[in-house]
């Protein structure tokens, strides 16, 4: 999603190009979520059946939190794209973290591979960290928009590890 024929070097991407790019990035972010949920339709039921630490949030928390985070991910990518920076390493990191994000739910819930899901989420956290660093070179606002995502995934990594440990014999 680099510069296009719709870009004027003085003003940046046109409004229609910006709207289209934002729509594509929103679809990519929310599509990542949809892939995970489609592959694992009973996540709330499965989550309820698992042994969890006392600090685990109720399943009703995850939907609203992820909705806000996916919107922030898309806007972050859009801010970098607007400045011509969503290419090369930035694009690879952005796409890579969405892929790892999409894989986590089917691994953890549908396949019951909680240890593999833990590896996935650790790699996801590393990619988010790298994405924040790379995005900060183009847009400080874009990098800051990813900080709540990073924090939530760090929390989710600890939760994944705790659930894996508590359910390792099951």
Examine residue 2 and state whether it is found in any structural domain, yes or no: no
Examine residue 3 and state whether it is found in any structural domain, yes or no: no
Query: What DSSP letter does each residue of 27-71 carry, written as one string?
Result: HHHHHHHHHHHHH-TTHHHHHHHS---TTPPPGGGHHHHHHHHHH
Examine residue 31 and state whether it is found in any structural domain, yes or no: yes
Tens-digit pLDDT profile for residues 34-79: 877 777 778 899 999 999 999 999 999 999 999 999 999 999 999 9
| Domain enclosing residue 147, as ranges | 14-166
Domains identified in the chain, total number: 1
Examine residue 20 and state whether it is found in any structural domain, yes or no: yes
Q: How confident is the model at residue 14 (pLDDT cuts 50, 70, 90)?
A: confident
Examine residue 5 and state whether it is found in any structural domain, yes or no: no
Tens-digit pLDDT profile for residues 113-147: 999 999 999 999 999 999 999 999 999 999 999 99
pTM (2 d.p.): 0.86
CATH number of the domain encompassing residue 126:
1.20.1260.100
- Cα–Cα–Cα angle for 15, 130, 47, nearest 5°? 95
């Amino acid at each position: 999603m680099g510069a296009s024929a719709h870009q004027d070097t003085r003003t940046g991407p046109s409004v229609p190009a910006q709207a289209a790019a934002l729509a594509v990035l929103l679809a990519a972010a929310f599509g990542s979520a949809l892939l995970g949920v489609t592959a694992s339709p009973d996540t709330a039921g499965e989550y309820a059946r698992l042994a969890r630490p006392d600090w685990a949030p109720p399943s009703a928390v995850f939907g609203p939190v992820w909705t806000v985070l996916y919107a922030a991910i898309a806007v972050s990518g859009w801010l970098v794209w607007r400045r011509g920076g969503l290419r090369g390493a930035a694009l690879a990191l952005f796409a890579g973290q969405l892929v790892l994000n999409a894989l986590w739910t089917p691994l953890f819930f549908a396949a019951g591979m909680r240890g593999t899901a833990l590896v996935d989420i650790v790699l996801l956290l590393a990619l988010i960290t790298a994405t924040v660093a790379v995005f900060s070179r183009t847009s400080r606002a874009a990098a800051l928009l990813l900080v709540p995502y990073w924090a939530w995934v760090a929390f989710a990594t600890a939760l994944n590890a705790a659930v894996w440990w508590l359910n390792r014999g099951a």
